[in-house]
Structure 1
Amino acid sequence: MAIREILEVPDPRLKTVSEPVTEFDDELKTLVEDMFETMYAAPGIGLAAIQVGVPKRLLVIDLQPEDTDAEPEECDHGGHHHHHYPTKKEPRVFVNPEILDPADELASYQEGCLSVPDIFADVDRPATCRVRYQDLDGNVHEEEMEGLMATCIQHEMDHLEGILFIDHLSRLKRNMALKKLKKLREAA
């Protein structure tokens, strides 16, 4: 297991169109393990292989939902005392994913991306979609996605086409986001 370097804009490799995965071997499993480790360390909820420099059609996602069956953890924020549930891991792997029938209805979520650090913007995407994908053994699955999962998988699948979430913004908003990122980097 290893944490890999996450490519950040304006790295030209992020514009690569990724190639289908054809070998379901140990190398693929190692890549997936590394991707999860990298994503959790970042921390993030989704990562495409190209974000660690590997142009393969492969995504890992873990929305890390709150575990409402677990005991809530207490935490103190400057005198404010409250409980929150720990998150649970629900790692998902999608190899060669395809969207079959995106909904006409759109949903807007504030998105961020590990390759565009500290920048968040609202993006409209189909609210639901059916996804066909393979698992690590090459078996084909189909699943109906909704809510945050639908948004997240579409965001990650964009990476496979060399598209970043800021590419969905108007030119003005995209330029503002990139300027902000430049300022944040200069300040760091």
Structure 2
Amino acid sequence: MKLPIVAYGDPVLRKVCSPIEQDYPELKQLISNMFDTMYNAHGVGLAAPQIGLPIRLFIVDTGADEDDKSKFKRVFINAEILEETGEPWAFNEGCLSIPDIREDVFRKPNILIRYYDENWELHEEAFTGMPARVIQHEYDHIEGKLFTDTLGQLRKRLLKGRLDDISKGNVRADYKMKFPQQSRRR
């Protein structure tokens, strides 16, 4: 089932999310719905706060790992980034909760992360390059951070009007959204 994506300005996007337990209600269905929602919106990652749930859950599907071209698809439950290393590099990022805005964001290229997968198996893995970047972006969501938080003050001021428009629903997206300053859904 495709769920509406919460737009910029909704308080749930600013919450540090809570861990979940293995008996979280209908978790497998929630994960399936999140993948449906992400694919419908043509995203490569989606965090639970983006569908209105303040829990430590996010999914990633980059389509291919840059090293071996194999599919890179993961579910991250109760994730904790243990280490970020390397020289930060810029990449133009966007966010399903902030449609029509893309900005260069600097992130470190290597991470070490501990997480549970959808079968509640514990993993401690290192990722690099694009998978690491997408994981960091989604991890920021469960920490109550948005990619726009990384921008300089001048750039934030220049984007303020556009961000306000998004929270009011004055933006076009090809997927269902829920806007904090608008009662109807798109």
TM-score (norm 2): 0.82
1:64 alignment partner AA: G
1:97 to 73, 76, 79: 79
CA gap of 1:164–1:105, structure 2 versus 1, over 3 A, is same
Contact 1:18 1:55 in 2 (8 A): yes
* Equivalent residue runs for 1:116-135 within 5 Å: 116-135=98-117
In the alignment, the residues of structure 1 paired with residue 71 and residue 107 of structure 2 have an alpha-carbon distance, to the nearest angstrom, of 25
Q: Within 5 Å, give how 1:10-159 maps onto structure 2.
A: 10-24=9-23, 27-65=26-64, 90-159=72-141
Q: What letter matches 1:150 in structure 2?
A: A
Q: Equivalents in 2 of 1:39, 1:164: separation in Å?
A: 17
Shifted more, 124-133 versus 98-107: the winner is: 98-107
Q: 1:24 to 1:126 in 2, by over 3 A?
A: farther
Q: Decide whether the 8 Å contact of 1:49 with 1:56 is kept in 2.
A: yes
Normalising by the residue count of structure 1, what TM-score does the alignment of the two structures yield? 0.81
Higher relative contact order (CA 8 A, sep 6+): 2
Deviations 1:113-140 (A, max 9, x none): 0001110001111110111110112211
State the shift of 1:105 in Å.
1.8
Secondary structure in 2 matching 1:44:
coil
Identify the residue that residue 183 of structure 2 maps to in structure 1.
Answer: none
Which blocks of at least 5 consecutive residues in structure 1 are unaligned?
A: 67-86
> Match for residue 155 of structure 2?
173
What displacement does 1:90 show?
4.1
**Structure 2: gaps (5+ residues):** 173-186
Identity %: 41
Instruction: Give the counterpart letter for 2:122 in structure 1.
Output: V
Distance change >3 Å, CA 18–CA 151, structure 1 → 2: same
- How many residues are treated as equivalent by the alignment? 169
User: Cα RMSD (Å) of the superposition?
Assistant: 2.5
Question: Relative to structure 1, is the Cα distance of residues 179 and 125 closer, same or farther in structure 2, using a 3 angstrom cutoff?
Answer: same
Q: Contact (CA 8 Å) 1:117, 1:181: kept in 2 or not? A: no
* AA aligned opposite 1:48: A
Partner of 2:4: 5
